[in-house]
Structure 1
Amino acid sequence: MQLVDVKKDVSSKIRHWCARAERSPAQVRRKLYAWGEREGADDLVATLLEEGYVDPKRFAEAYALDHVRLKGWGPGKVAAALRFEHSMDGHIVDMALGAVAAEDVHEAACRAVRKRKQRHPDEDPAKTIGVLLRKGFMVEVARAAVVAEDAPPKFGPTC
């Protein structure tokens, strides 16, 4: 029977997990707790931060871009998730949202309006705006997306 150093095993396992995708320090801490590694979790997270396996700024930027482009979230919802689910500081959240282009946000809002109109073609525009607000979009962006989708087709891109 071979004895395995549990600390080294968990350390290599968490490094491999972090190398596969961007992770927040909070995600890493939760994963370590799930593996029963409560005592050395903070030290291991600090080591991973030093070694570059975990970088809050890099994670926040990737998270913001992915959730706006792929999931259709608005900046408000992204900011709330980064702050509360991932325990990110305000300046990191602001930096991450600054990396998201206004065109990406507008396109995500337009996609959400199109999707909503497919399911509810005769819905009141105010209701559609409410849906967008709950997805984290600003009022101006929500209104612009609803107006752009209701307007007759023009030459060139509108939404």
Structure 2
Amino acid sequence: MNTTEETEMLHKMAAYCARTERCPSDVRKKLTAMGATSDVEERIVARLTAERFLDEARYCRSFVEDKWRFNRWGRFKIRFELRRRDLPDNLIEEALSELIEEEDYRAVLDELLRRKLSAIRATSSTDRAVKLLRYAESKGFERSAVFDCIRAMKDDDVEAPEDID
């Protein structure tokens, strides 16, 4: 690969990163699809990182904030998706603890479960509990947090499942 092709790839990747926040694995996938060798990929990623087009910590914060605020994902699902992108655990945990407060986390989970409960058609409280649990886990919330929330709903006299323990 000659230097003109590498320079052209660098410019394309800079424009790609300038449009929205990207992580290094996204850029590597794109470069591989363009036919870049691993050496070229590493040089381009290093240059983009040096010029602040790529920043793993910034990407983690942005991803956590978007998935939490707009998609209402739980910590488990956010953490899983960030690990799939080969980001360091310390940056993931830092972003999660910085941007998701425990009180807000429980309030969102409570809101999601109450909304889901009104849409569930189940004959027994056990069926309702199982459906609520599956729903919350699919959104990435931890099982213990879901159980705590369901118990709190039961204590509030909401038509919540009684068989959670």
TM-score normalised by the chain length of structure 2: 0.77
Contact kept? 1:61, 1:96, Cα under 8 Å: yes
Identify unmatched segments of 5+ residues in structure 1.
154-159
Q: Residue in 1 aligned with 2:66?
A: 66
> For 1:149 and 1:20, how far apart are their aligned partners in 2?
43
> For 2:35 and 2:153, how far apart are their aligned partners in 1?
51
Contact kept? 1:69, 1:108, Cα under 8 Å: no
Q: Residue in 2 aligned with 1:87?
A: 86
> For 1:111 and 1:33, how far apart are their aligned partners in 2?
43
User: Per-residue deviation at 1:50?
Assistant: 0.9
Amino acid aligned to 2:45 = V
Contact kept? 2:23, 2:55, Cα under 8 Å: yes
User: Per-residue deviation at 1:14?
Assistant: 0.6
> For 1:110 and 1:68, how far apart are their aligned partners in 2?
15
Q: Residue in 2 aligned with 1:28?
A: 27
The equivalences for 1:142-157 within 5 A come to 142-146=146-150, 151=156
Deviates more, 1:65-74 or 1:135-144: 135-144
> For 1:28 and 1:115, how far apart are their aligned partners in 2?
39
Q: Residue in 1 aligned with 2:161?
A: none
Identify unmatched segments of 5+ residues in structure 2.
159-165
C-alpha RMSD of the superposition? 2.4
Query: Secondary structure of 2:86's partner?
Result: coil
Structure 1 residue runs of 4 or more that deviate by more than 3 Å after TM superposition: 143-153
Give aligned-pair identity as a percent. 24
Contact kept? 2:117, 2:128, Cα under 8 Å: no
> For 2:150 and 2:41, how far apart are their aligned partners in 1?
47
Query: Secondary structure of 1:67's partner?
Result: helix
How many residue pairs get aligned? The number is: 149
Distance 1:128 1:46, change over 3 A: same
Query: Secondary structure of 1:136's partner?
Result: coil
Q: Residue in 2 aligned with 1:134?
A: 138
Query: Secondary structure of 1:124's partner?
Result: helix
Amino acid aligned to 1:69 = R
Amino acid aligned to 1:135 = K
> For 2:142 and 2:151, how far apart are their aligned partners in 1?
14
Query: Secondary structure of 1:52's partner?
Result: coil
TM-score normalised by the chain length of structure 1: 0.79
Query: Secondary structure of 1:41's partner?
Result: helix
Amino acid aligned to 1:120 = I
User: Per-residue deviation at 1:102?
Assistant: 2.4
> For 1:12 and 1:110, how far apart are their aligned partners in 2?
46
Pair 1:38 & 2:42 matched: no
1:100-158 CA distance string (max 9 Å, x none): 222442343234324423532545124302321232212343234445666469xxxxx
